[in-house]
């Protein structure tokens, strides 16, 4: 069937390292079957990039990502001592909001079925500010919490709850111990809550939240938290719904959007062609929604869900024996049949 192209977007594609490259290939193969014209420019980042050009994140890559309509990012290997490519991109593009859905899919073996919550993580400061120094007896890292970053992430989260028709927002912090930093974050959250009377606002300590995510996750709807807590809780969330192979994310700023799976480059399975491409594909669905291509986003989401529900073509982590590209082919087939 001839493809009816309805719009055109410039997309920066950063495959990265390891399985990042494999799940990106699979995803581009599927996106090619959509009724949408995506104009890709490939850019480099990560450890292989460092080996070739001596930097994990060249200026050209940052500039391309800044000037495109959206960026698709696979995953990178971060070698200790190297500058993290993804953290640099998030900071350079001021991608302050990291949206990480925790959603279960029919047909996927998981701890919980019918789970549908979202973690919104502050993406530019906290313990990932990268301010570390050696001390007489070791080293220390600075955990930066600013009024500006806390206000904009909490506002983003309240707006997200409203725009997506959700009902409740939970702020997660450790203000009982980190009185100044997380105390500020919690106070800003409740100040804003007064302006969003129709959103139920509550807060939890991060340690208790880690347990509640396992014992009663259905009680939560949208969670907003600081950088490291959000990173840890979202991996925990992924573990409840089938693993990292199914966990997508969006990094959103005022001017740019970057979409990437939560997982890393998975060196243990890299090169074997067995990585689950679902997290990357779901990240592409988030990108299409960001580009307001709602129809094609929904078609792609549906095609993936059907393949997951049928369970006939599934990668190792899903209990099957199919390769990354076999799964991609099965999803693509749903789009063109």
How is 154-177 classified by DSSP, letter by letter?
HHHHHHHHHHTT--EEEEEE-TTT
Rounded to an integer, what distance in angstroms lies between the CA atom of residue 200 and that of residue 228?
Answer: 24
> Considering the rule CB under 6 A, would residue 139 count as an interface residue with ligand NAD?
no
> Considering the rule CB under 6 A, would residue 249 count as an interface residue with ligand NAD?
no
How is 70-110 classified by DSSP, letter by letter?
EEEEEE----TTSPPHHHHHHHHTT--EEEEEEE--TTS--
> Is 235 considered catalytic here?
yes
> Considering the rule CB under 6 A, would residue 276 count as an interface residue with ligand NAD?
yes
Q: Min. distance of Cβ 90 from ligand NAD in angstroms? A: 10
- Name the helix (H) or strand (E) containing 135: strand 132-135
> Considering the rule CB under 6 A, would residue 268 count as an interface residue with ligand NAD?
yes
Rounded to an integer, what distance in angstroms lies between the CA atom of residue 12 and that of residue 92?
Answer: 15
- Residue 37 tokens read as 């014209």
Residue 181 or residue 323: which is nearer to ligand NAD going by CB? Answer: 323
> Considering the rule CB under 6 A, would residue 19 count as an interface residue with ligand NAD?
yes
Q: Which stretch binds ligand NAD (CB under 6 A): 64-72, 144-152, 260-268, 290-298?
A: 260-268
> Considering the rule CB under 6 A, would residue 266 count as an interface residue with ligand NAD?
yes
Measured at CB, which residue is nearest to ligand NAD? 264
Q: Do strands 97-103 and 248-252 pair parallel, antiparallel, or not at all (unpaired)? A: antiparallel
> Considering the rule CB under 6 A, would residue 65 count as an interface residue with ligand NAD?
no
Among 12, 56, 68, 78, binds ligand NAD (CB under 6 A): 78
> Considering the rule CB under 6 A, would residue 126 count as an interface residue with ligand NAD?
no
Among 317, 323, 331, 332, binds ligand NAD (CB under 6 A): 317
Set 231, 290, 305, 317: catalytic member: 231
Nearest residue to 253 via CA among 45, 21, 66, 36: 66
Residue 25 or residue 170: which is nearer to ligand NAD going by CB? Answer: 25
- Residue 41 tokens read as 């420019």
Rounded to an integer, what distance in angstroms lies between the CA atom of residue 44 and that of residue 47?
Answer: 10
User: Interface residues with ligand NAD (CB under 6 A)?
Assistant: 19, 23, 75-78, 86, 244-245, 260, 263-269, 275-276, 279, 317
């Amino acid at each position: 069937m001839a493809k009816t192209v309805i719009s055109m977007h410039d997309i920066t594609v950063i495959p990265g390292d390891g399985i990042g490259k494999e799940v990106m290939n699979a995803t581009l193969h599927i996106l090619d079957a959509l009724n949408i014209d995506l104009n890709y420019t490939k850019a480099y980042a990560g450890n292989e990039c460092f080996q070739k050009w001596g930097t994990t994140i060249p200026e050209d890559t940052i500039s391309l990502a800044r000037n495109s309509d959206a960026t698709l990012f696979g995953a990178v290997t971060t070698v200790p001592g190297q500058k993290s490519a993804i953290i640099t991109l998030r900071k350079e593009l001021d991608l302050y909001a990291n949206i990480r859905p925790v959603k279960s899919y029919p047909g996927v073996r998981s701890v919980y079925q019918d789970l549908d919550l979202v973690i919104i993580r502050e993406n530019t400061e906290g313990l990932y500010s990268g301010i570390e120094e050696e001390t007489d007896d070791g080293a220390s890292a600075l955990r930066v919490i600013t009024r500006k970053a806390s206000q904009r992430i909490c506002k983003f989260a309240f707006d997200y709850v409203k725009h997506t028709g959700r009902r409740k927002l939970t702020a997660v912090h450790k203000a009982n111990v980190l009185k100044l930093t997380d105390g500020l974050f919690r106070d800003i959250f409740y100040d804003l809550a007064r302006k969003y009377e129709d959103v139920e606002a509550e807060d939890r300590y991060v340690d208790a939240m880690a347990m509640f995510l396992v014992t009663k996750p259905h009680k939560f709807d949208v969670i907003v938290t600081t950088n490291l807590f959000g990173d840890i809780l979202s991996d925990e969330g992924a573990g409840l719904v089938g693993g990292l192979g199914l966990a997508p994310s969006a990094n959103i700023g005022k001017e740019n959007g970057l979409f990437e799976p939560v997982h890393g480059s998975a060196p243990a399975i890299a090169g074997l062609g067995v990585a689950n491409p679902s997290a990357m594909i779901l990240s592409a669905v988030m990108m299409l929604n960001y580009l307001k291509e709602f129809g094609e986003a929904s078609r792609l989401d549906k095609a993936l869900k059907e393949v997951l529900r049928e369970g006939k073509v599934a990668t190792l982590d899903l209990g099957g024996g199919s390769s990354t590209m076999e799964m991609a082919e099965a999803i693509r087939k749903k789009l063109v049949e």
